[in-house]
Structure formats: C-alpha cells, structure tokens
Amino acid sequence: MINSSVFVVTFLAAAVEVIEMVIIVVGVGHVRGWRSTWLGVAAGLVVLAVLVLALGTALQAVPIGLLRLMIGSLLLVFGLQWLRKGIRRVSVNGLRGMGERNAPDEDIPASGVDWTAFLLSFKGVVLEGLEVAFIVISVGLAAQALPSAVLGAAAAFVVIGAAGLLARGLVQRIPRSALQLIVGTLLSSFGTFWAVEGLGIDWPGSDAAILALIGWYVLTAVVYVAVLRRERRPALQEAR
C-alpha cells in the first residue's frame, strides 16, 4: 500500500533536483547539439543505476560534498565561458533571429562525440540523480515506506522530464546569442551553488539561493552588454 505522505514529500523534494537536471540537459542540448547530450544523459543514467543497485543504502556514505565541489567547479568554468560568449554576441547582435534555426557553435565538432556536451549532461544527471537517491533512501527508510519513496521520485522524473521535452520547442525559438547567455547564466549559477556547498558552506534559503545567483549573473550580464554597446557606438559612428 502506498504511503501518500511519503509519496508527496519525495515527489516534491525529488522534483527540485530533477528540475535542475532538466534545465542543464535542455540548455546544453540546444547550445551544443542533442546527439552528444543524449549520450551523456544515457551514460549518466547507466552509471547512476549501477551505483544504486550495487550500493543501495550504502550510498549515504558517498561523499556528496566532494562531488558537488568537483562538478560545481566544472560547471562554473563552462558556464562563465558561455556567459562571456553570450554577452559578446548579444552586445553585437541584440536579440535578432527570434524563431530562426540556430546555427551550431564554431567549436562543435562536425562528426563524432562533442565531449563538452557529453560531460556537462553526464555530470548533471549523475549529481542530481545521486541527490534524488539520497532523498529516496533517507525519507523511505525513516518512514519505513521505501517503495512509496521510490514511486514518488519516479513520478518526479516522469513529470518534470516530460515538461522539459515539451519546452524544447520554446527554447528552439530563442536566438543563439540570447540562448548562450541564458545557458551560461544558469550553468554559472548552478556551478557556484554546488561548488560553495561542496566546501561545506550552507546557502541562506537553501536551494532558493539559486534564484538569487541567477539574478546576480543576469544583472552582471546586462551591465556588461550595456558597457560593450557603449564602447562600440563611437566606432560605428566613425564607420558611417
């Protein structure tokens, strides 16, 4: 029999982590391409399944802080690179191209695996998946209702994952310059959040601090775009 309270608690807690996972996957997929992104997702799910089946409740002993520090730092590095590119492109092109098909980045390989997309999606799936596993094990064992906790987490994956797939059409209409700026902002925000948590520092408001980080990076991007446009204006006037 399903324990409804455990199901709801696990669903809501897992949904927060799955949302972060889906945001990373959808963003990386549209900026870098879907083939390598899906390969990273599949590899992450396989590794996650092996860890859960092999370790079970022993997963609680996994040093999640170290994982957050390592993965968060890598996401922050990639995020800041994409944020820089997005700022430069938006400062030059603005938001032109809404609804047009986005051209691939210059540094994306024409064939083979794009390891940047693969690693970003892989790391996002593994880290967030492990956190969902911790939630399931902790809540399920504490309430003596592990099956209900598993069902709640599975439902969160299905619902949020389906919503992410539906959002692909909307994301495709965002011009590449703005999309790279958005994804860079999100990766930088998640990377900063996880890296700091990996150092053992608690954020005020817990996961809600991610919204504050997103706001900070958005404000920073807006300021830099304005500065770059102001610097370009005299050059454009001279060219005329």
Give the angle 101-91-118 at the CA atoms, nearest 5°.
Answer: 50
Q: Which residue has the higher pLDDT, 233 or 86?
A: 86
- pLDDT of 61: 66
- pLDDT of 84: 87
| Contact between residue 46 and residue 189 where contact means Cβ atoms under 8 Å apart | no
| Block residue for tokens 């982590």 | 17
Give the span between the Cα atoms of 43 and 118, in whole angstroms.
Answer: 9
| Block residue for tokens 């996957």 | 25
Domain that holds residue 31: 4-239
60 has pLDDT over 80: no
Mean pLDDT of the 186-213 span: 87
| Contact between residue 122 and residue 44 where contact means Cβ atoms under 8 Å apart | yes
Tell me the per-residue pLDDT of 61-94, one tens digit each, with 9 for 90 and over.
Answer: 667 787 788 878 878 888 888 888 888 888 876 6
| Contact between residue 17 and residue 132 where contact means Cβ atoms under 8 Å apart | yes
Tell me the per-residue pLDDT of 147-179, one tens digit each, with 9 for 90 and over.
Answer: 898 899 899 989 988 888 787 766 666 666 677
pLDDT band at residue 219 using 50, 70 and 90 as cut-offs = very high
Tell me the per-residue pLDDT of 111-129, one tens digit each, with 9 for 90 and over.
Answer: 678 888 898 899 888 888 8
The overall average pLDDT reported for the chain is 80
The whole-model pTM stands at 0.67
User: Running DSSP on this structure, what letter comes out for residue 29?
Assistant: H
Mean pLDDT of the 219-227 span: 90
Mean pLDDT of the 136-143 span: 75
pLDDT band at residue 24 using 50, 70 and 90 as cut-offs = confident
46 has pLDDT over 80: yes
Q: How many domains does the chain have?
A: 1
Give the span between the Cα atoms of 196 and 191, in whole angstroms.
Answer: 8
Residues 6+ apart with CB under 8 A from 177: 86, 89, 90, 92, 93, 94, 95, 96, 97
Maximum Cα–Cα distance for the chain, whole Å? 76
Mean pLDDT of the 104-108 span: 56
Among 16-25, 188-197, 212-221, which stretch is predicted with the lowest mean pLDDT? 16-25
Q: What proportion of the chain, given as a percentage, has pLDDT over 70?
A: 81
pLDDT band at residue 98 using 50, 70 and 90 as cut-offs = very low
Q: Which residue has the higher pLDDT, 29 or 217?
A: 217
